[in-house]
Amino acid sequence: MIDWFTYAETEYGIVLNQTARNRFELYYRELVEWNSRFNLTAIRDQREIELKHFLDSISIAHVVTHAPESLVDVGTGAGFPGMALKILWPGTRLTLVESVQKKANFCMHVAKVLELREVTVLAQRAEDVGQDPEHREKYQLVTGRAVAAMPVLLEYLLPLAKPGGMVVMQKGENGVIEAENSEPVMLRLGGDLKSITPIELPEVEGKRYLVAVAKNARTPKMFPRRTGVPSKTPLS
């Protein structure tokens, strides 16, 4: 059984140094300990955490080949993919957006325990962060993993990407159809479909895709709409 560090290197070309490996091991221990008291993730088996959380998260570096100057991860939960990418790219300025306070608290705790600098955790809704001048169009890379259907997710993510930046969404087996059907929404929000990259995880069934969207124009000021509207009335 191949370890996930080796798989990342051989299949994705992602090399984790010893410091990163140590941090992931500590991350695992903290996640298990907190999960015994709070329901942070339904995935509890060590191997599954390594593959479905850690490896899946850093697979983004397969399409983002250089560490970005800034990264915001929306709907991060227990820190995926954002915190995992911060371990891979320790020099990247990271912002995590998670509206559930207990999960946001865990992310703040992990950043401290792992001694990661320049990590900001916002216990806010994505719609509010997207309209905040401090965060709107300020990030080189914006990520989101299975937070919502793609038109909704695009309305959360694209307003945070600076022109010239990029959005990467992690999607399941319908990723290709979702991306192609969502191209009009991308254009409306200032983005263009850049690539759809299939990703395989060992011992994990089902197709996975990294959908990359280039931010080529500013997002109209009305987006994202007020809290709850994007999910209730998705753009088309």
52-101 pLDDT, tens digit per residue, is 999 999 999 999 989 999 999 999 999 999 999 999 999 999 999 999 99
Is 123 in contact with 104 (CB distance < 8 Å)? yes
Fold type of domain 4-232: Rossmann fold (3.40.50)
pLDDT (0 to 100) of residue 15:
95
125-156 pLDDT, tens digit per residue, is 999 999 999 999 999 999 998 778 999 999 99
Percent of the chain past pLDDT 70, that is, above it, reads 99
DSSP track, the chain:
---HHHHHHHHH-----HHHHHHHHHHHHHHHHHHTTS---S--SHHHIIIIIIIHHHGGGGT--S--SEEEEET-TTTTTHHHHHHH-TTSEEEEE-SSHHHHHHHHHHHHHTT--SEEEE-S-HHHHHT-TTTTT-EEEEEEESSS-HHHHHHHHGGGEEEEEEEEEEE-TTHHHHHHHTHHHHHHTTEEEEEEEEE--TT--S-EEEEEEEE-SPPPTT-S-STTHHHHS---
Angle at 129 between CA 126 and CA 131, to 5 degrees: 110
pLDDT (0 to 100) of residue 219:
98
In SS3 terms, 175-205 reads as HHHHHHHCHHHHHHCCEEEEEEEEECCCCCC
pLDDT (0 to 100) of residue 1:
80
Average pLDDT of the chain is 96
